[in-house]
Chain A
Amino acid sequence: MNPMDRIQDYGDGRLSPEERAAMEKDPSLTAEVDAFAEYRRVVSAVGQSEFVPLSRLEDKLATLARPTRKPKWGWLMVPAAAAAAFAVTLFVVRPPASPPVVAAADPMELERGAPVAEMDKPEFSLARGMVKQTAGFEVPDLDLRSKGGTLASVRIGKNWAAFDYTMDKERISLAVSPDDTPLRNNKGVVEMKGHKFMMGKGIGWKHGNLAYYLKGGSTLDLRKFMACTICCMCEGKVVLGTQQSVLVAMR
């Protein structure tokens, strides 16, 4: 082993006590040992003093990972609920007066199956990364901040993602999926700004290899405006003007 390697092993704490003692007895190595220690001190001090955007990173981490609170004693509630259900079965043995009412699902709904992850108020870029990782497909830049929209939450399923925006106190949800099956065979097709939209409870369309479905908002006009805006964003175009002026231009 050459002397420089020994000095570095010494400085890195890799020598046995006997080897260390032998090194320390050798005065010819003292200056180099000290210089190496000084190098390590300096490079560490300067490297660790560099600016770190810690608050931004912590915000991102919190957005990604903050767990939901479980009620205290939640584990006790499971057997309690089971016992209550059993008691109801035993003593309240009346058949239901009428069959249960099931809300009719929109045939165009792209969100199918329970979400595997949900994010509250994420940055769009972070949500995009999460969709890619979890659902396995890439979504275009649908950051609506420049249009006054705030991304309130994102739900991610196995083959879909739903972005919930707040626009002027209205809630709008945009589901995206590579599977366009729900949009097929839909007859209510309307053409706006050169794009074909399928109208149901919400508005559906296809762009590239993805299917989109927008719902929510208090008026059909708002949904139409948002559908056009998002569709144009996917093409890298910008929709100028107010909701009213754009809707007039679309008619």
Chain B
Amino acid sequence: MIRSSRPRDFESSVRPHLSVLYRVGLRLTRNAEEAEDLVSQTMVNAFNAWSRFDGDYVRSWLIKILRNEFLNVQRRKGSRPVEVELDDAEGVSDTSWTEVVGRLEAGRILEEVDRLPEEYRLAVTLCDVEQMSYEEAAEAMDVPVGTVRSRLFRGRARLRQRLGHVVAEEVR
């Protein structure tokens, strides 16, 4: 238990968001143990920065810290998430939602979300899995709202494309 002159409501402010933090951590790391470590370190970093927090969205502030910590860990490991160009041609898909939704197990959709490049994966996780608004996701990703939209649309397009392949394989 910390005894210091920090703001008093850190614990009660962070507690409601632990599940979201863990789930976002799990999508980023794709590993339960690493996700838990990531959330632990995020709590430490957030606690140290708590006196400087002056925003309204605690959840997006925490996710921003989580993502920065994830990138730091990747950097320390010597690996970096694959950056994707926003005008990446691979993001364009002809597959429609009607072709894939209802034909696959729900868990399979999540597996394919986990295979998306990191920037797209985070946008899809925040907006679709966690149902955040573009504005809140933009705060968490530290990018403009327009960037969230384009990453989200490209992420979904890739997802449809991959799910389309899975459906085609299962039909064969």
Contacts and interface: CB of A to CB of B under 8 A. Distances in A.
Contact of B23 (A48, A64, A117, A118): A48
Contact of A39 (B8, B37, B109): B109
Interface of A: 4-5, 7-8, 12, 14, 31-32, 35-36, 38-40, 42-48, 50, 52-54, 56-58, 60-68, 116-121, 125-126, 129-130, 133-134
Contacts of A46: 106-107, 109-110
B104 to A, nearest CB: 9
B45 A133 contact: yes
Contact of B2 (A4, A42, A117): A117
B145 to A, nearest CB: 10
Contacts of A5: 153
Contact of A40 (B23, B27, B128): B128
Interface string B1-13: 1111010101100
A52 B19 contact: yes
Interface stretch (B52-60, B79-87, B95-103, B164-172): B95-103
Interface in B130-167: 130-131, 134, 149, 152-153, 156-157
Contacts of B128: 39-40, 43-44, 47
A133 B48 contact: yes
Contacts of B63: none
A63 B101 contact: no
B19 A54 contact: yes
B82 to A, nearest CB: 22
Contacts, number: 144
B150 to A, nearest CB: 10
B71 interface: no
Nearest to B14: A61
Contacts of B22: 52-54, 57
A78 to B, nearest CB: 15
A67 B8 contact: yes
Main SS at interface, chain A: helix
Contact of B96 (A32, A42, A54, A119): A32
Contacts of B18: 52, 54, 57-58, 61
A32 B110 CA distance: 20
A35 B129 contact: no
Nearest to B107: A46
Given A61-B11, A62-B11, A68-B3, A44 B130 contact: yes
Contacts of A43: 106, 109-110, 113, 124, 128-129
Contacts of A58: 15, 18
12 contacts: A8-B153, A35-B101, A38-B97, A38-B102, A39-B100, A43-B109, A45-B106, A52-B22, A52-B23, A53-B36, A62-B11, A117-B2
B11 A65 contact: yes
B39 interface: yes
Contacts of B102: 35, 38
B153 A39 contact: no
B26 to A, nearest CB: 7
Nearest to B129: A47
Given A8-B153, A38-B102, A39-B109, A64 B44 contact: yes
Contact of A129 (B21, B40, B106): B40
Interface string B64-104: 00000000000000000000000000000000111011100
A46 B153 CA distance: 20
Contacts of A12: 127, 134
A56 B21 CA distance: 13
